[in-house]
Amino acid sequence: MASHTDTETGEAAALDGGAQIRFDKVVKQFGDNVVLRELDFSVQPGERVCLIGPSGSGKTTILRLLMTLERANSGTIQVCGQYLTHMERGGKLVSANEKHLREVRKRIGMVFQQFNLFPNMKVLQNLTEAPVRVLGESKAEAEQKGMELLELVGLAEKAGAHPSQLSGGQQQRVAIARALAMEPDVLLLDEVTSALDPELVAGVLGLLKDIANSTDITMLCVTHEMGFARDVSDRVLMFDKGVVVEEAPPEKLFNAPDHQRTRDFLQAILGRS
């Protein structure tokens, strides 16, 4: 359970209206294992930020906290100027109720490593389900938008197929379309190509680059694809052991990193590929 932060910190944070995502002294631990140590960081609207670093460094946890799949042990998270898992009541920060959580969460979409399409629904229904049930769109409206998105990801002819009939790359493109169907302000990408066969990776990354170039959606990506991070991101954050070791624009971070830890990591991961 999230502990309640003191009011002063909360109000100070709330005054910073510019950032779309803001972590304030966020601590997350699983048992004795501290995954995030008082993490502070923020993302501006429309910014593309890639999180890199060794596994277990807490990158994915950041996305999962934002998607409310995990709760922070302490600290606050704001999305679009609103607290995510807290709400203000009588000048104090209290745990958010389900309604508040839903409202803030609607602005965020997520694409998972394992796609997580609903296997009991056809491809198009995977895309229309949430817009109809959550945004209150009519079925016709949602289906039209769904078809446009399938067009965008190059899978319009698969609208009537079941997810199990698609390749991993196709499933992931459908999952991207499903997240976009909710018209989120923020898109979270959690190692979206890690479960794909090598020959399918380029197609999915190409699609994400197109989306990055043609929209102003804020993107937060956890990735091991350094080429993708270099091409897409405005800023790269190097994580290790629950803290940000270094953050810089990709040209700087990949070509002239300041920290030995970053150099070692990049050498290990680039030397391998």
Residue 109 or 242 having the CB closest to another protein: 109
- Where helices occur in 83-236 by DSSP H, the ranges are 98-105, 123-133, 139-152, 168-181, 198-214, 226-232
Contacts of residue 231, Cβ cutoff 8 Å, sequence gap at least 6: 209
- Asked if residue 173 binds another protein (CB under 8 A), the reply is no
Residue 272 CB, nearest approach to another protein (Å): 27
- Asked if residue 95 binds another protein (CB under 8 A), the reply is no
Compute how many residues bind another protein; rule: CB under 8 A: 24
CB 78 within 8 A of CB 24: yes
CB 234 within 8 A of CB 48: yes
- Asked if residue 51 binds another protein (CB under 8 A), the reply is no
Residue 173 CB, nearest approach to another protein (Å): 15
CB 232 within 8 A of CB 189: no
Own/partner pairs, 149-153, CB within 8 angstroms, 24+ separation: 149/177, 149/180, 149/181, 150/123, 150/124, 150/174, 150/177, 152/177, 152/180, 152/211, 153/177, 153/207
- Asked if residue 235 binds another protein (CB under 8 A), the reply is no
The HSE-up count of residue 14 (CA atoms within 13 Å, CB side) is: 16
- Asked if residue 89 binds another protein (CB under 8 A), the reply is no
CB 194 within 8 A of CB 114: no
Closest to 22 in 3D by CA, of 106, 83, 94: 83
- Asked if residue 220 binds another protein (CB under 8 A), the reply is no
Residue 17 or 136 having the CB closest to another protein: 136
What x-and-dash track marks residues 126-165 binding another protein by CB under 8 A?
Answer: ---xx--xx-------------------------------
- Asked if residue 105 binds another protein (CB under 8 A), the reply is yes
What x-and-dash track marks residues 176-195 binding another protein by CB under 8 A?
Answer: --xx--x-------------
- Give the one residue of 30, 119, 206, 209 binding another protein; rule: CB under 8 A: 119
- Asked if residue 209 binds another protein (CB under 8 A), the reply is no
Would you tell me which residues interact with another protein (CB under 8 A)? 67-69, 102, 105-106, 108-110, 112, 114, 116-121, 129-130, 133-134, 178-179, 182
